[in-house]
Chain A
Amino acid sequence: MKILSLFISPLLALIIGLLFLGISRKITAKIHWRCGPPVYQPLIDVIRSFSQKSISHGAFFDFGIILSLSSSVVLIYFLPVGDLYAMTSGGLIAFLYLMLLGPFGIALSSAASGNPNSSIGVSRKFLLALAYEVPLLLVLLTVMTHYNTISLVEIVNIQAGTGMAFSSWALVLPGIAYFLILPAVLGVRPFEIVSAPQEISSGPVAEFGGKHLAFYTLQHALQLFVGLALFVNIFLGGGTLFGLLNPIAGTVWATILGIIIFLVKMFIVLVIELFINAVYPRFRIEQAMRYLWKWPTLIAFVGLVIVAILN
């Protein structure tokens, strides 16, 4: 299974990630009363980018973006999609740290291009990351303390026995906090500060064209996938649905159905996020930080205190 998932997981994540990007464009268009592009439009964009002749600001400019995409793929290996996962080493902490590597690679690459717009974008990205990491770390610590494990797979497995994490009342507050910060984690509209095209010429990717842009788009798709999948894994019970698959557990069908359930859950979360995304304007960075450090942090902190007292 692990060997198989080494090949399947990244492909699945790339396809689903690109599809989700397309779907999000389509749904946003529908909310705007537009027709919108076909759902496979991101794929066309990626092919177009690959066919174009890019410019390069040196070896480091190339290395950063390759590192970023590769680390996102490695991240997928850590992420249980239903029963599919390849690695568990290091658990959720290693996962959190590997999540750093993607933005870090892009930050290095774009700073090597020497464009001030990119630098502003990266500065915003790290500030935004600091802003949402505070509640995110509180939430993840709550979950890890509650289940007394640092393994992502184990967290999912425990939920498979008890239903979703939401059904355990101690994790309701962290779940709400995570949902409130999810747009910031995904970097969508109210928090689209990093790559604001109108202000800072799409920020870190200002100098990316051709294959660099294609790599960035793929990385963005994977990032979307990871952000949604982490939420589904931690709070919505991963690829299980209240023991629905228990009668056929262990068979290939259970695995496939588990993945489908997982993807459906991700899709639902994405659509709810899109409803927020489509109608909101952009925050300024100060407003975003103030928001993220106020309500989500407060809720997450109360959640952690409750769990700490319970234990």
Chain B
Amino acid sequence: MSLELLIMFAFGGAFLTYLAGKISSKLRDIFALLCSVALVVIVSSLYKVETTITLYNGFFGMPLSMRLNPMAWFFAIAIVSSSALVVLYSMSYMKHRERTDYYYFMLLLINAAMLAIVLSGDLVSFFISWEIMSWSTFLLISYNRNAALPAGIKYIVMSLIGSMCMLVGIISIYTAFDTITISEIVQHMATATAGYKLFLLIIFSITFGIKNAVVPLHTWLPDAYAESPSPFSAVLSGMLTRMGIFGFLLIMFVMVGAENSLHMGRGFFSYHNILAWLGAITIVIPTFIAMLQNDAKKLLAWHGIGQGGYMIVGIAFGTSLGLAGGIFHTLNHAIYIILLFLSVGAIEYSTNGLRDLNSLGGLFKKMPIAFLGGLLGICGLIGIPLTNGFVSKWLIYKTLILGKAPFLAFATLLGTWGTILSVYKFLHNLYLGQLPQEHQNIKKTPLAMQIPIVILSLTILVFGILPGLPLKSINAMIVSFGFTPLTVSIWGISSETGTLNMINIFSILLVVVAIFWLIFQAARKSTAVDQYDNYAAGAAIPKDKYNYTVEFYAPFYRMATPYLRDIFDMLYQKIARFTEFACDNIRKIYTGYVSDYIIYIILFLALLISAQLKWSVF
């Protein structure tokens, strides 16, 4: 098993899936699933393998290479396994849609491109894969047409700005060091000036900041997440956006190096500190904006931005504990946000595309599996103990508090407490409360949609109770960056400044719950009643809709709505409108009369001549 095979499988599988779709849709589904499962098998067989291979030597004399190391493996396994689950889910979700061949092709192509990104050993193949990923993402975001088209355009414009920044960076690296291979750049970096390193850090940070949606570069994300098909929203939020985190790790800790990027600037105005503060802003503001959303997917999208902030804070703080927290949070976020999007997707599937938080409710009796996914997903998102989100957040908080950054710690903690409000609203308005009459007979969730939800739910619990499983491979990654390793055991982290032992908490909670459950069962048995036998001051319950969902946090909305607006989005829109307006006016010089054009030429020549007479420039 080697890397060539992996890449071949990934790209070839995507093309062959498209061709298989031309024969029969059943064949295509099975082929796509087999292909993505095979990728999982191949990647997991490459555990602890470190290799470098050269794919192609003739690209303007530069070698295009692939390399596998702990960092690449960690991201690769996350990509392929989430993709396999999403493909399985799509088999039911996309069944009765049109253009499904195209959908599967793009989904697998994105998957392959992401694999190529994390495995690429040089910047050119990195850039090429990055572009394949960006463009196919654009096509899938605008898959649903209508409202999805502007969302896609917004995405691709911002993504192009990022790509151009990266291109500038790559060209400047090539001119400075005469190489594009990452391992060689690392050696050359020692000779570079501090100013050049800062330039590289900033220019790549713009690229990766756009991809990871760091405020103020986040504006593409809410629309893109909300408008794309739900399984793809899951991929988009879970792994694709987090390619930005991969990029940050690559530029900060691999290419520029930890000892450089963490000592850039002085005091507050150092590169990593400002990045951490941007991360903190990314946590707080989007989390509170999420509270105002009435669209389930948009609410999750704003949380996608907010949770990205935790990763940025953890990485930017740059201690081995914080780095472990940031990277672990990337993985955890992928798990629970994919789960949440799949859960919302199940509702969309059953209710024919409804995802409005104001018109649903009480679905937990009809869709227990999707509800389970939603519940564990939001527990992970909040970071309730025994779910995976808790461990990574704990690592980040601890880093910040013991690293004497109480204000950053406050921002991260505040973000969590804001998260509780909006995700509870999410869970309550979709699943809990009274079930409206119109949803009494909704479609059942198909098995292919239930399996990924169950697997992800279990993963949340397993990683929450035994965080050592992923933390061990994260530890290897941290060591490869040159940090001191953490003392990780299978159930948590032990260190001299406080230990975390999840299995301890888990077993105690389990025992106590068991005891109280027994007491509860031993007490007088309760009568089961339906939702219409409910207290309503002595009146009978109305059958159509009797829910408290609209304006769930009304007092807070009244207080906060004027302050919680996406000012950056408004600013960018204004700039876009201004550019459009200006270009529209400049266009008017093309009148279509030859005489006008002759006058332009004469005027231009006159300008040149007078400039020559006055300053003699030529």
Contact = CB atoms under 8 A, between A and B. Distances in A.
Interface of A: 50-58, 60, 62, 66-67, 69-71, 73-74, 77, 86-91, 93-94, 96-98, 100-101, 104, 107-108, 111-117, 119-120, 122-123, 126-127, 129-130, 133-134, 137-138, 141-142, 144-145, 148-151, 201, 206-207, 210-212, 214-215, 284-286, 289-290, 304, 307-308, 311
Contacts of B487: none
A60 B526 contact: no
Contacts of A93: 394, 397-398, 401
B414 A134 contact: yes
Contacts of B526: 53-56, 62, 210-212
Interface in B548-582: 548-549, 552-556, 558-559
Interface string B503-520: 011001100110111001
Contacts of B499: 88-90
Given A129-B417, A137-B417, A308-B407, A91 B498 contact: yes
Contact of B505 (A74, A114, A144): A74
B432 A114 contact: yes
Interface string B409-424: 1100110011011001
Contacts of B375: 108
Interface of B: 362, 364-365, 375, 382-385, 390, 394, 397-398, 401-402, 404, 406-407, 409-410, 413-414, 417-418, 420-421, 424-425, 427-428, 432-435, 492, 497-502, 504-505, 508-509, 512-513, 515-517, 520, 523-529, 531, 533-537, 546-549, 552-556, 558-559
Main secondary structure of the interface of B (DSSP, over half): helix
A310 B527 CA distance: 60
Contacts of B509: 70-71, 74
Given A114-B531, A144-B401, 20 more contacts: A50-B523, A53-B526, A57-B529, A57-B531, A60-B364, A94-B385, A98-B385, A112-B432, A113-B534, A114-B434, A114-B546, A117-B535, A119-B547, A123-B548, A127-B421, A141-B409, A149-B497, A150-B397, A150-B498, A211-B523
A94 B556 contact: no
- The 10 A-B pairs of least Cβ separation, nearest first, read A111-B432, A119-B548, A116-B548, A56-B526, A89-B501, A54-B526, A70-B512, A211-B523, A114-B434, A70-B513
Contacts, number: 217
Given A70-B509, A145-B401, A97 B390 contact: yes
A104 B434 CA distance: 19
Nearest to A62: B520
A145 B398 CA distance: 11
Given A130-B417, A308-B407, A73 B512 contact: yes
Contacts of A145: 401, 404, 406
Q: Most chain-B CB neighbours within 10 Å: which of A89, A112, A145, A285? A: A89
A112 B520 CA distance: 18
Given A54-B526, A58-B365, A90-B498, A304 B410 contact: yes
A53 B410 contact: no
Nearest to B365: A58
A86 B556 CA distance: 39
A113 B527 CA distance: 13
A119 B365 contact: no
Given A211-B526, A289-B556, A311 B404 contact: yes
A304 B365 CA distance: 47
B535 A58 contact: no
Nearest to A50: B523
Contact of B516 (A66, A86, A308): A66
B556 A127 contact: yes
Nearest to A124: B555
A89 B500 contact: yes
A107 B556 contact: no
Nearest to B512: A70
Nearest to A73: B512
Nearest to B396: A93
A150 B499 CA distance: 10
Contacts of A206: 535
Nearest to A151: B498
Nearest to B394: A93
A88 B555 CA distance: 38
Nearest to B494: A89
Given A97-B385, A112-B364, A137-B417, A77 B559 contact: no
Contacts of A96: 413
Nearest to A10: B512
A150 B385 contact: no
Given A89-B504, A90-B505, A144-B401, A207 B534 contact: yes
Contacts of B427: 111
Contacts of A210: 523-524, 526
Nearest to B527: A55
A101 B384 contact: yes
Given A67-B513, A90-B500, A289 B555 contact: yes
Contact of B520 (A51, A123, A215, A308): A215
Contacts of A88: 498-499
Given A58-B528, A74-B505, A286 B534 contact: no
A126 B516 contact: no
Most chain A Cβ neighbours within 10 Å, of B407, B425, B547? B407
